[in-house]
Amino acid sequence: MIWKILDRQLDLSRQAHVMGILNMTPDSFSDGGRFDGLEAALSHARTMIDEGASIIDIGGESTRPGALPISAEEEIQRTMPVIHALRREWGGLISIDTMKAAVAKAALQAGADIVNDVSGLTADPEMIRVCADSHCGVIVMHMLGTPADMQNAPRYEDVVGDVLAFFRERVSTLTQAGIAAERLCFDPGIGFGKTQEHNLALLRDLKHLAPSGYPLLLGVSRKSFIGKITGAELPADRDHATIALTAIARMHGIMLHRVHEVRGNVAALRVAEALLSGS
C-alpha cells in the first residue's frame, strides 16, 4: 500500500511508520507545556526523528476531553515557528494537527505535508478545499461530538459499523470534492467520543475499520483507557502498555502509529515485523 503525500510516496507495504507527537499546547493531557518554546520543541522533534519517527505531528490546540477551542490566530502563533524551523533542517514528513482551515493553509505554506483533522474534515467547511488544492496527505479521524462534549455519554448502535460507515461517507464526499483517494488515511479516534467498551471493540476489530485499500492510523498513546486497564494514573506511566498495543496492532496489519514515546514503539514494530516475516 502507498500513501501519496504531495509529491512523495510513503510505502506502507512492509515497514510500519511512527508519527511522533509534538504538542505546542499548555494543556494537552500528556505533555502540556513541556515543548511550548521553539528550542524545546525543536529539540524534542530532533530526538523523535533520531529515534525513528517518519512523521512529526505538530498541534497547537488541545483536543483532550473537555478542552475548549482557541482562535486560529493563537493556533498559528503556536505552531508556525516550529514548522518553519523544522522544515529548514529536516526533509521528512510534517503533519499539522488542526480542525481549522486557516491553520492548515498556513501550515502547508510553511512546509507541512499532511493535515491531521480530528473532526474528519467536518468542523470547518473550508478545510476540504484547502486539502484538495494543496494535494497534501489527509488524515480523517472519527470523533463523536467535539472535544468539549465528546465524552458526555457517547452512544452507538454498533461502534465498529458506525465508524466504518462514517469513513465510507468521507471517502465519497472528499473524493467528489477533489481530494484524491490515494491521499486519504483514516483514524478510528480511540478515546474521542468513545467509552471503554467502545475503545476495546474498535481495537479488537482493527482489520475491518478502514475502507478497503486505505491505510489506518492508530493513536492509542498514553490514553486514559489504558490507565483504566493497568491502573497507571500518570500518562507517561502508560508507555509500556502503549508499546504492547503497537506491537499487537502491527500483527493485525496496522502500518501507521501516532505516539509520544518513539523509541520503544519503533522497536516493538520491528520485532513484530520480524515475527511476521520470519527473518
C-alpha 262/C-alpha 19 separation (Å) is: 8
Q: What is the 3-state secondary structure (H, E, C) of the chain?
A: CEEEECCEEEECCCCCEEEEEEECCCCCCCCCCCCCCHHHHHHHHHHHHHCCCCEEEEECCCCCCCCCCCCHHHHHHHHHHHHHHHHHHCCCEEEEECCCHHHHHHHHHHCCCEEEECCCCCCCCCHHHHHHHHCCEEEEECCCCCCCCCCCCCCCCCHHHHHHHHHHHHHHHHHHCCCCHHHEEEECCCCCCCCHHHHHHHHHCHHHCCCCCCCEEECCCCCHHHHHHHCCCCHHHHHHHHHHHHHHHHHCCCCEEEECCHHHHHHHHHHHHHHHHCC
Give φ, ψ of 153 to 5 degrees: 55, 60
40 bridge partner residues: none
Q: Which of 105, 223, 238, 250 is catalytic?
A: 223
C-alpha 75/C-alpha 96 separation (Å) is: 11
Q: Which of 78, 222, 238, 258 is catalytic?
A: 258
115 bridge partner residues: 96, 138
* Active site annotation includes 223: yes
Residues noted as catalytic: 223, 258
